[in-house]
Amino acid sequence: MDIGKTRYSLDPHSHVRADFTFVSHAHIDHMHNPSRNEKVIASAVTKELAKARGYDLGETVEEAEGVELLDSGHILGSRAIRIQDEVYYTGDASGRIRAFLGRCRTRRARILVMETTYGTPEYVFPSTAKLVKEVNSVIASAYHRGTPVVLMGYPLGKAQLLSYFFSSWEPILYHESVAAMNRIHVNHGVALKPGREFDPVKDLERLPRGPWVMVSPMASGRSRLMAHLKKEYGAVLVAFSGWAMGAGYRYAMGADYSFPLSDHCDYQELINLVQAVSPEMVYTVHGFAAEFARDLRKMGFSARPLAAYQSSLSDYLNP
């Protein structure tokens, strides 16, 4: 997008010629290795998390003329960007407070570019408190039977929420990829309890017999690791994703239980976000982009999905 003489590129997958490149957060699908001359706007935490995941964002800035970064509530360090009062881009965003993560902060803008991962009405998530209570009762009954529980979610973001909510169970084990992300969170003041690190190569045959809780990356119950934990230790597998609102999710994942704990806005939160930004035009991206744009049009907004992921705003603002 060109505002004045400045061109911005938002979450590109590869280098795009622009004056500024914005990296909203450190999930792999939002990152690339910028070229040396690229001026990257990202939070310092995003830069650090990216580095731990093998991406070098180079020199980054959190401030630039006419630009405001706002907490998007998605994961640690995630930001939305407002460019003058012209554009507000959400990156990935959450509309609710979860443990140490706040909700997406909004500002008014003429154009809203938003993620719509869960942009259909069946995706309205239950309260986090209710969900935590239900998961605790699943863990309690497994402990009663003397069996362990594996809690599965993305290693950056979801796994730290799981570590935060369920580490009062003992012993608590963290898969090594989760432990690496937990350490960065602790360095930034997030109160995550220490636990035993699990190396899936060395420790597979050396886990305690009896109940324990492990926080692990998402994997199918049919994967080698999970099938082994089930067979050898009788582990109960619990998957966490917004997609768990769908009836077939638990079966598709080969999990024993699934819960809709999400790092994204649900349908109602997406609508609240649009109303808060109060834009003249909305562009939707990711997930149910066409469906959500259609619903917004019914509500009187001008809205359309991006045909494919367009990393340079000029692609669609000046078609």
The side-by-side arrangement of strands in the sheet containing 196-198 is 196-198, 172-175, 213-216, 149-152, 236-240, 257-259
Residues 6+ away with beta carbon under 8 Å from 205: 232
For residues 66-125, which are near Zn ion according to CB under 5 A? 92
Given a contact cutoff of 8 angstroms between Cβ atoms, the answer to whether 287 and 115 are in contact is yes
Altogether, the residues listed in the chain come to a count of 319
**Pick 24 or 106: Cβ nearer Zn ion:** 24
Q: How many residues bind Zn ion (CB under 5 A)?
A: 2
Residue nearest to Zn ion (CB): 27
Tell me whether residue 315 is exposed, middle or buried, using C-beta atoms within 10 angstroms of its C-beta: 0 to 12, 13 to 18, 19 or more: middle
**Pick 175 or 264: Cβ nearer Zn ion:** 264
Which tokens in the block code for residue 2? 């060109």
Q: How far is the CB of 74 from Zn ion (least distance, A)?
A: 6
* 230 near Zn ion (CB under 5 A): no
Interatomic CA distance for residues 306 and 284, integer angstroms: 6
**Pick 49 or 296: Cβ nearer Zn ion:** 49
Given a contact cutoff of 8 angstroms between Cβ atoms, the answer to whether 25 and 19 are in contact is no
Q: How far is the CB of 202 from Zn ion (least distance, A)?
A: 30
The side-by-side arrangement of strands in the sheet containing 87-89 is 67-71, 79-83, 87-89, 111-115, 281-285, 303-305
Q: How far is the CB of 309 from Zn ion (least distance, A)?
A: 13
Fill in the amino acid letter for 33: N
Q: How far is the CB of 273 from Zn ion (least distance, A)?
A: 16
Quote the longest CA-to-CA distance of the chain: 66
**Pick 123 or 169: Cβ nearer Zn ion:** 123
Given a contact cutoff of 8 angstroms between Cβ atoms, the answer to whether 265 and 287 are in contact is no
**Pick 142 or 156: Cβ nearer Zn ion:** 156
**Pick 148 or 157: Cβ nearer Zn ion:** 157
Q: How far is the CB of 251 from Zn ion (least distance, A)?
A: 25
**Pick 11 or 295: Cβ nearer Zn ion:** 11
Q: How far is the CB of 275 from Zn ion (least distance, A)?
A: 23
Interatomic CA distance for residues 239 and 259, integer angstroms: 6
Interatomic CA distance for residues 277 and 214, integer angstroms: 40
**Pick 27 or 32: Cβ nearer Zn ion:** 27
Element (H, E) at 149: strand 149-152
Residue 171: asked if its preceding bond is cis (omega within 30°), the reply is: yes
- Contact mark string toward Zn ion, 5..44, x via CB under 5 A: ----------------------x-----------------
Q: How far is the CB of 75 from Zn ion (least distance, A)?
A: 6
CA terminus-to-terminus distance, the chain: 11
Q: How far is the CB of 263 from Zn ion (least distance, A)?
A: 7
Q: Which residues bind Zn ion (CB under 5 A)?
A: 27, 92
